[in-house]
Amino acid sequence: MKITSADFITGAVKPEQYPPPEVPEIAFAGRSNVGKSSLINALVNRKHLVKTSNTPGRTQQINFFDINSAFNLVDLPGYGFAKVPPAVKRQWGPMVEAYLAQRASLKGVILILDVRRHPGAEDDRLVHWLAARQIPMRLVITKIDKLGTNRRIDRLAAIGTHYASLPHVPIPFSARTRFGREELWSALLDLMGAPPP
């Protein structure tokens, strides 16, 4: 995928603040610190388009990015981090659900998992929530560079088995080595209904 432009549009906590739903949109969800923001940067070949952090829970609003003036990528705040202040936590569910349930231009959700962790209750809940609303979803298993070959194969198989009932096999990915980037782009284009480049 050739990226000609990648720009931050706006950050929003409520629907009135979203940009107009004029282009197809793909949202990225997952636990805090799983690597959502790093994955978006790797996808669009920009080191610092999206702020990343060693501190979990850093992304606390819905951030919209314009890619090639053709579609938007949306970085959602992560769930499941204990140290986020309770007020912020209470806001997370309604804020993200309002976006996912109502966004007319949303074409699909990329749900990101860490290869080293078994999927948690919150991951499963989001998978089921999206399925119930017929929002298309793909799973990505990131940080695969953190494990050696054998362990990586075991973990990918275990997570794949956990989600064996889903129509698509999870895509292995690394923001560090950029492994999986082309496969993920194919999935994004498929979700957006665009022909492969």
Ligand X SMILES: Nc1nc2c(ncn2[C@@H]2O[C@H](COP(=O)(O)OP(=O)(O)OP(=O)(O)O)[C@@H](O)[C@H]2O)c(=O)[nH]1
Distance from C-alpha of 45 to C-alpha of 31, rounded to nearest angstrom: 23
* Residue 92, SS3 per DSSP: helix
Shortest spacing between CB 11 and ligand X, in angstroms: 12
Tell which residue, 35, 87, 28, has the closest CA to residue 58.
35
Task: For 119-173, give the secondary structure using H, E and C.
Answer: CCHHHHHHHHHHHHCCCCEEEEEECHHHCCHHHHHHHHHHHHHHCCCCCCCCEEC
User: Using the rule CB under 5 A, which residue among 18, 27, 37, 112 binds Mg ion?
Assistant: 37
With CB under 6 A as the contact rule, which of the stretches 56-64, 101-109, 131-139, 164-172 interacts with ligand X?
56-64
Contact mark string toward ligand X, 1..30, x via CB under 6 A: -----------------------------x
Shortest spacing between CB 40 and ligand X, in angstroms: 8
Cβ proximity to ligand X: between 145 and 190 the closer is 145
> Is the Cβ–Cβ distance between 136 and 27 less than 8 Å?
no
Cα angle 122, 164, 98 (rounded to 5 degrees) comes to: 35
Give the DSSP H or E segment for 84.
none
Distance from C-alpha of 75 to C-alpha of 70, rounded to nearest angstrom: 17
Residues between 89 and 118 with contacts to ligand X, criterion CB under 6 A: none
Contact mark string toward ligand X, 157..186, x via CB under 6 A: -----------------xxx----------
Residue at token pair 């290869």: 115
With CB under 6 A as the contact rule, which of the stretches 1-9, 55-63, 103-111, 181-189 interacts with ligand X?
55-63
Shortest spacing between CB 174 and ligand X, in angstroms: 4
17 binds, among Mg ion, ligand X, none (CB under 5 to 8 A by kind): none
What does the binding site for ligand X look like in residue numbers (CB under 6 A)? 30, 32-38, 52-54, 56-59, 78, 142-143, 145-146, 174-176
Binding site for Mg ion (CB under 5 A): 36-37, 59
